[in-house]
Amino acid sequence: MDTQTEAPGGPEQAKRPRSIYAQLPEAFAYPFRGMGWAVLAAGAVCFWVLNALLAFPSSGYFGIFKLLLAIGIGGYLCAYMIRIIGSSADGREELPDWPELTNFWDDILRPLLLVISTALFSFLPLIVHVLSFAWSAPGDATYPRDALYWLCLGWGLMYLPMALIAVALFDSFMALNPLVVIGGILKTLPAYLFAAAIFFVCYFVSAWVKELISAAVPVVGSLIAGAVALYFLMVEMHVLGLLYNTHAKRLGWFER
């Protein structure tokens, strides 16, 4: 599978797309379109198996196996996240199939590194701020939530969604360039604030529902929780793709 996304555009953007506000209700049905329910079910089973394996104590070769398995499934999930953003950015209304596996670097490790780097770079100011406190006050477990902390956190929350869009579509670490990301944010306001709010609301609702189901439902609770987490992840990535799709001309990233 080639994680690189073709420059969004073409016939599917020939007609002007509806606003992201108008498409929001449909975004929550997106994971069930076409064969989406089968993709969702298969993904939930895979994550359930992963969680079951990771619950076993680690020792020797089994510990190495668990690490490689976590990297493999995590990278594959990141590759699928990138594929959903690209598909939605192109205006496709159905969930794409799971990515193909051809080689470890392109299909697993590189997508994983792209997504992790995006998160780390987005919250780099916050990470530096926390580490600087830990360095200046070693052994102090009470980290102060001062104004700078909240400012750095707000920066990360604002930066991350657009950074994910840029990295997914350019398929490059260079897309993390603040000129690209901040420029994209400014060009898509106020819709970007709306999309970012939906993105994080879905994330926190997913985390809350997962904990609730895992604690309340025995045995199959983790399976249901995995399906819920995957559902919300699909919605989140679709919303990011929709943001690009509805603002492609304004962003002008792939215009020649």
Residue range 48-62, pLDDT digits in tens: 777 666 666 666 676
Query: Regarding predicted confidence, which is higher, 228 or 198?
Result: 198
> CB neighbours of 106 closer than 8 A, spacing ≥ 6?
1, 2, 3
pLDDT value, residue 66: 76
Distance CA 75, CA 106 (A): 10
pLDDT value, residue 237: 96
Residues 119-145: tens digit of each pLDDT? 999 999 999 988 887 787 666 556 667
pLDDT value, residue 178: 96
> CB neighbours of 253 closer than 8 A, spacing ≥ 6?
7, 166, 169, 170, 180, 184
Query: Six-digit token pair at 224?
Result: 């249901």
pLDDT value, residue 141: 58
Q: Is 210 helix (H, G, I), strand (E, B) or coil?
A: helix
In the chain, pLDDT over 70 holds for what percent of residues? 85
Residues 174-220: tens digit of each pLDDT? 999 999 999 999 999 999 999 999 999 999 998 898 888 877 777 67
Enter the DSSP assignment of 9. -
Confidence of residue 16 (pLDDT cuts 50, 70, 90): low
DSSP string, 70-111: HHHHHHHHHHHHHHHHHHHHTT--SPPPPPP-S-HIIIIIHH
Averaged confidence pLDDT in the chain: 85
Confidence of residue 251 (pLDDT cuts 50, 70, 90): very high
Delimit the domains of the chain by residue range: 18-250
- If one counts every other C-beta atom within 10 angstroms of the C-beta of residue 249, the result is 11
pLDDT value, residue 17: 65
Identify the burial level of 14 via C-beta atoms within 10 angstroms of its C-beta, where 0-12 means exposed, 13-18 middle and 19 or more buried. exposed
Of 47, 31, 35, 32, nearest to 224 by C-alpha is 47
3-state helix, strand, coil in the chain (%, to 5): 75, 0, 25
> CB neighbours of 119 closer than 8 A, spacing ≥ 6?
160
